[in-house]
A = this chain, B = another copy of it.
Amino acid sequence: MEDVARLAGVSRALVSIVYRDAPGASEATRARVLAAGNELGYRPDHRARLLGRTRTRLLGVTFDVQAPFHGDLVEALYLAAETAGYDLALSAVAPSRDESRAVQSLLDYRCEALVLLGPQLAHSALTVLADSHPVIVVGRKVRAAGVDVVRTDDTAGSRLAVEHLLSLGHSRILHIDGAKFPGAAERRTGYRAAMRKAGLTPLVETGGRTEADGADAAKNFLNDSPPVTAVTIFNDRAATGFLDTIRQSSVEVPGDLSVVGYDNTTIAGLSHIGLTTIAQNTTALAELTTQRAIARLTTNSTPTEEVVTPHLVSRATTAPPARSHR
């Protein structure tokens, strides 16, 4: 920085002004400083920059390194944060690295706010964190004090799935749930409500969130062969596992059985899977997340719960029920 200042014939402060795009420098010198900087290959030291200023404008994000949906969200968050003039610090959650570890490392970097993607942390832990920092939980409905929540309206999402199937003519619809994972309860509720509203009896089987969980559910399904013509499944990962197993049996999809997933991850859209699914609006989720974080940081806004409406993406795994099953 010193060198750039010298080369451009200005003070260090002026260089700082130019590189921050702050007012207080004429166009001429601005150009001169940037030219000097380029010549010397100068790039401001991000750490020092953060140290010096009162606000770090750093958003800490924890994500599951194995969840494709988190990948989509992270990408959207980069975009949203950048346009708002904030920076992202990533911290991965993995089997050998739990969430509290991930969060601690973010705090050590003095992130101003914590964005937790589908966290499994206990309510108490969330409350403790929220004491000292704005905490934005994404994709999980929590009622922890002082915590912002940005999530998809999962109840509505499940309802959409059921309504789609109803409109195709199905009436015997099974739901394979996500056990205790974030969002599972709401998706179960939405399914039940939509079924009752249609005068039908809900039927729920326990599932999970991974492909293996979906495959297990499929095995049970093939064993029990319940009299259903359609299935809504907790998420796309479980749905692909389910599909994969079902397709190895004599049951045809969507001929004998329609299947609806949830999340609209990249994998659902692949032509050979062609999974009908409920799309979460990652862009909206990401934008609301950064908006909330910034509101909490810059105004005395109190935590809110933002709910984003999902929509259905119809692909190849749903069709009217076969005649024999009607």
Instruction: Give chain A's interface residues, CB within 8 Å of chain B.
Output: 43-48, 50-51, 56, 65-66, 68, 71, 74-75, 78-79, 90-92, 94-97, 104-105, 107-110, 210-212, 214-216, 218, 241, 244-245, 247-248, 266-267, 270-273
A78 in contact with B94 (CB, 8 Å): yes
Closest chain B CB from A204 CB (angstroms): 21
Instruction: Check B273–A244 contact: CB distance below 8 A.
Output: yes
Q: Which 5 A-B pairs have the closest CB atoms?
A: A215-B272, A65-B71, A75-B94, A46-B108, A90-B90
CA distance A78 to B98 in the complex (A): 12
Report whether A48 and B51 are in contact in the complex, using a CB–CB cutoff of 8 Å.
yes
Determine the chain B residues whose CB is within 8 A of the CB of A211 once the complex forms: 267, 270, 272-273
Asked if B75 contacts A96 (CB within 8 A), the reply is yes
A65 neighbours in B (Cβ, 8 Å): 71, 74-75
**Residue among B79, B212, B273 making CB contact with A272, cutoff 8 Å:** B212
Task: Tell me the smallest distance from the CB of A32 to a CB of chain B, in Å.
Answer: 23
Copies in the complex: 2
Which residues in B have their C-beta under 8 angstroms from that of A46? 105, 108-110
CB < 8 Å neighbour of A244 from B214, B244, B266: B244
A111 nearest CB across to chain B (Å): 10
Alpha-carbon distance between A273 and B56 when the two chains are bound, in angstroms: 46
Sample of 11 A–B contacts (CB below 8 Å): A43-B104, A45-B51, A46-B109, A47-B47, A47-B50, A47-B109, A66-B68, A78-B94, A211-B267, A211-B270, A244-B247
User: Bound complex: CA of A7 vs CA of B105, how far in Å?
Assistant: 25
Question: From residue A56, how far is it (CB to closest CB) to chain B in Å?
Answer: 8
* A62 CB, nearest partner CB in chain B, Å: 11
Q: Please state if A94 and B71 are interface contacts (CB–CB under 8 Å).
A: yes
* Contact among B66, B107, B218, B247 for A247, CB-based, below 8 A: B247
Taking A75-B92, A75-B96, A245-B272 as known contacts, 11 extra A-B pairs with beta carbons closer than 8 A to each other, sorted by chain A number, are A46-B105, A46-B109, A51-B51, A66-B266, A71-B94, A78-B92, A78-B96, A211-B267, A212-B272, A241-B272, A244-B247
Whether A45 contacts B92 in the complex (CB less than 8 A), given A210-B270, A241-B270, comes out as no
Question: Which of chain B's residues have a CB closer than 8 A to the CB of A104?
Answer: 43
* Distance in angstroms between the alpha carbons of A91 and B89 in the assembled complex: 8
Say whether A271 contacts B95, CB under 8 Å.
no
CA distance A94 to B212 in the complex (A): 26
Alpha-carbon separation in the docked complex, A48 to B49 (Å): 10
- List residues of chain B with CB within 8 A of the CB of A44: 108
Instruction: Report the separation of the CA atoms of residues A65 and B63 in the bound assembly, to the nearest whole angstrom.
Output: 10
User: Hey, which chain B residues are within 8 Å of A96, CB to CB?
Assistant: 75, 78-79
* Least CB separation from A66: chain B residue: B71
Least Cβ–Cβ distance between A250 and chain B, in angstroms:
12
Most buried by B among A66, A92, A248, A272: A272
